[in-house]
Chains A and B, each alone.
Chain A
Amino acid sequence: MLIYALRRLLGAIPTLFIIVTAAFFMMRLAPGGPFDQERTLEATVMANLNATFGLDKPLWQQYAIYLGNLFQGDMGPSFIYRDKRVHEILAEGLPVSVQLGASALLLAFVLGTALGTVAALRQNSRVDYAVIAVATFGITVPNFVVAPVLSLVFAVMLGWLPAQGWGDWRQMILPVIALALPQVAVIARLIRGAMIEALRSDHVRTARAYGLPARMVVAKHALRAAILPAISYLGPAAAALLTGSIVVEQVFNLPGIGRYFVQGALNRDYTLVMGTVVIVAVFVVVFNLLVDLAYALLDPRVRYD
């Protein structure tokens, strides 16, 4: 399994390389540049700026320099936030985004599993239909709708929770819910389907035939089998949470990396966007690997070699 993990990590290097390359050149294809402002700068000032940041060099040279720096853990200077390197900016925002994402993932997994299990046990009852309805709602309504509505109802109208900011646990509640909701829905549906199948399986019949108490049959034998597809989904879910957090961080005004991504893109802050892309890509790759390894730990039939 160690060899498998190693091989997967080696395999991730070309993936990341392609992502970085594609992002680099696509960014430069977009019209405009970091120093284009409403009032055009004097040509000499512009030339100076370009020279300072190396933008006067041919594109392939800029690319090679960027790659070389990236290899040493330096993501280059930000073009907009003067006097700051990109990795310093991201290091400030990352803990916020990670905390937000991890909380949402945990909430989605726990709540989704619980809802899916209850629905499967009461298949075709009102509880089941209610869960399916909530799940369908959660999947179809995008979070740029959910987030403002939550904020409007619970912060503005009811005044129960703060509408924005970061630092207090109460400020986390609404963004985490907004971020987790679609994932709760997907996981609940996954678990429900897998659970219905598991409850009909031969080994669950064996457990019942051997007089095991109902909760043991459900929790130990059916749920453990049903949870496996949800585990595999956690990889894509983590990716969805990272992109989802861009919207949620804007709505709730959180100091995560999501807003840098949007602002960076709008300002043509090449290095900042690149830095965010690299971070997100690394997260997705690593998280998918972790999920696959967790799967192997949970299912003894899966062996990587």
Chain B
Amino acid sequence: MTDPVLEIDNLRVRFDTPDGTVDAVRGVSLTVAPGETVAVVGESGSGKSQVMMAAMGLLAANGKASGSVRYRGEEILNLPPDRLNRIRGRKITMIFQEPMTSLDPLYTIEDQLAEPLRVHGGLSPRAARARALELLDLVQIPDPARRLRAYPHELSGGQRQRVMIAMALANDPDLLIADEPTTALDVTIQAEILRLLAELQARLGMSILFITHDLGIVRAFADRVYVMRAGLVEEQGPTRRIFEAPEKPYTRMLLDAEPEGEKPPVAADAPVLLQGAGLRVTFGKPPGFLRRDTRFTAVKGIDLTLRQGQTIGVVGESGSGKSTLGRALLQLLPAEGRVVYLGQEIAGLDRAAMRPHRKGLQMVFQDPYGSLSPRMTVTEIITEGLLVHEPGLSRRDRAERAAQALTDVGLDASMRNRFPHEFSGGQRQRIAIARAVVLRPRVIVLDEPTSALDRSVQKQVIDLLRRLQAEHALSYIFISHDLAVVRAMADYVMVMKDGAVVEQGPTRAIFEAPGAEYTRALMRAAFDLGDLLTG
């Protein structure tokens, strides 16, 4: 075997925090051979990113690393920046998870691409510009000459990640570290970026170290895998072996965490709970004195019928209008069109007139960190709705209902006096669900309720939602970009693009024989990543 490009030996990372020392990485060893693609997999908090941050000298100020990190035999851990800078950004480069914020918003693409070229390669401004253009061409950005003069905010997320890749390739690196580079992107864009990386690797021959929580990507992309858990490498080996014969229970658990099962359709004569007709949502203002037309139609005339016990999956990429549709149905933002709930028109009702209906129409949001007030206890959060909708309840009855709701969502009722920050992401999402079900609603709009969660936690939340649906005859509008989750949860699917429905039908029919080209592209990107990368 040839000498490895990168060797990490017994790396430890600890952070001094006001609450004491946190051992984020507790002795990790790994190697990357020339031309090899290695994946480091783990759930959030496993320390996978911190391994690379330590290696690249990018730890936060309160972090300390010990052990050994060697690049082609040379020790680079804890080198002073000026010596480390001969390697980082030049021989080892990095792309990050957040394409929206990883580029400096105040400088043009050309400025930022040229920086590492001029600093490391000593190129003249002119030569750097020419090379920058070449690089944008290499990462297949359309109209590269114009993009050079653009600012990051003028590019889409996928384009920004392409710019980051161009920057990473600028000085012909030996190793590219990709830290969740596609997590923030839509599935179709993710597939394009991964294909680009695979192509570039075949052409340029660098090694890639891929950090991700997404096993689908690992299977399609990596030669070897390290599975990390709680700061340690739990299992490692060739990708195939790990996927076909995992040795550790944790690895098996990760592999089994893909959402499974399906939901049978409801009876055709099940009562209709919620109906939307010709829903249109427009943002912005019409043109006026010295003012441009800023109107933008996010939802372009959508009809929808939700029956008792039904789950309608609303699928689409970011900007497709799926969340806006959910809010419009609940009258949380002004919309044109009709909305009928339990046979009564609710569109256009004012706040007071809408209030009695709100009890039956609840919502759960994507971000379990932002959607719970940090200054209220769990009981206060859960009972707040009861104060409005069932003001006759005594304090004791409310507490009882809250305890019952907590038990319903699988949390210990003894946790009811704690604050949200004491809970994990999955537990917080359970609290958010408890806040909705405590009111005994008929309809819950679930807006990406599992997207911020690790796969294993996601599976538990899905099981919970299914159980609650069966026990309380709930109907769901399930909004998600994740086709695997929608397939498992919904019995009816609507595929949205640019504010309109491109295709809809029973889940099984849509997934087995998608009619629209867009639906097929979404499915290829989500389920056939391997074929997409090689084909």
Residues of A within 8 A of B (CB): 3, 6-7, 123, 200-214, 216, 220-221, 224-225, 298-301, 305
Contact = CB atoms under 8 A, between A and B. Distances in A.
Contact of B85 (A3, A6, A212, A220): A212
Nearest to A227: B106
A6 B291 CA distance: 12
A55 to B, nearest CB: 42
Nearest to B98: A202
Contacts of B56: 209
Nearest to B87: A211
A220 B119 CA distance: 14
A210 B291 CA distance: 42
A225 B89 CA distance: 22
Identify the 8 closest CB pairs spanning chains A and B, nearest first: A211-B89, A210-B89, A211-B85, A202-B101, A203-B104, A300-B151, A211-B88, A210-B116
B396 interface: no
Nearest to A211: B89
Contacts of A7: 290
Contact of B153 (A210, A216, A300): A300
Contacts of B164: 206
Contact of B104 (A3, A6, A200, A221): A221
B89 A212 contact: yes
A64 B98 CA distance: 61
9 contacts: A201-B101, A202-B102, A204-B104, A209-B94, A210-B93, A213-B85, A221-B104, A225-B105, A298-B106
A301 B81 CA distance: 31
B115 A212 contact: yes
Chain B interface mostly? loop
Given A206-B104, A298-B106, A214 B98 contact: no
B167 A205 contact: no
Contacts of B96: 202, 205-206, 209
A203 B119 contact: no
Nearest to B90: A211
Interface in B136-180: 151, 153, 164, 167
Contact of A209 (B88, B104, B105, B153): B88
Contacts of A200: 60
Given A299-B106, A300-B106, A301-B153, A212 B101 contact: no
Given A202-B96, A203-B101, A209 B89 contact: yes
Contact of A216 (B84, B93, B119): B119
Nearest to A3: B290
Contacts of A220: 107
Contacts of A225: 104-106
A260 B57 CA distance: 60
Interface residues of B, number: 36
Contacts of B85: 211-213
Contacts, number: 85
A83 B228 CA distance: 88
B116 A206 contact: no
A200 B98 CA distance: 14
Contacts of A221: 104, 107
Contacts of A209: 56, 58, 88-89, 93-94, 96
B89 to A, nearest CB: 3
B290 A213 contact: no
A211 B120 contact: yes
A305 B294 CA distance: 10
A211 B164 CA distance: 14
A300 B105 contact: yes
Nearest to B105: A301
B441 to A, nearest CB: 39
Contacts of A206: 96, 102-104, 164, 167
Contacts of A210: 88-89, 93, 115-116, 119, 167
Contacts of A214: 81-82
Contacts of B93: 209-210
B86 interface: yes
Given A6-B290, A301-B151, A305-B292, A212 B102 contact: no
Nearest to A199: B61
B363 to A, nearest CB: 30
Contacts of B81: 208, 214
Contact of B116 (A201, A204, A212): A212
B58 A203 contact: no
Nearest to B94: A209
A213 B89 contact: no
B113 to A, nearest CB: 10
Interface string B116-129: 10011000000000
B58 A208 contact: yes
Interface string B73-95: 00000000110111111100110
Nearest to A228: B106
Contact of A205 (B58, B82, B115, B292): B58
Contacts of B167: 206, 210
A177 to B, nearest CB: 32
A50 to B, nearest CB: 45
A211 B91 CA distance: 10
Interface string B501-531: 0000000000000000000000000000000
Nearest to B111: A220
Contacts of B102: 202-203, 205-206
A200 B60 CA distance: 8
Contacts of A123: 61
A203 B105 contact: yes
A224 B106 contact: yes
Given A210-B93, A211-B87, A305-B291, 13 more contacts: A201-B101, A203-B103, A207-B104, A209-B58, A209-B96, A211-B84, A211-B120, A212-B116, A212-B119, A213-B85, A214-B81, A300-B105, A301-B153
A220 B104 CA distance: 10
A205 B101 CA distance: 10
B88 to A, nearest CB: 5
A205 B164 CA distance: 13
Q: Considering residues A6, A207, A298, which has the most beta carbons from chain B within 10 angstroms of its beta carbon?
A: A207
Contacts of A203: 101-105
Interface string B336-372: 0000000000000000000000000000000000000
A225 B82 CA distance: 24
Contacts of B290: 3, 6-7
A300 B112 CA distance: 15
A196 to B, nearest CB: 10
Interface in B419-452: none
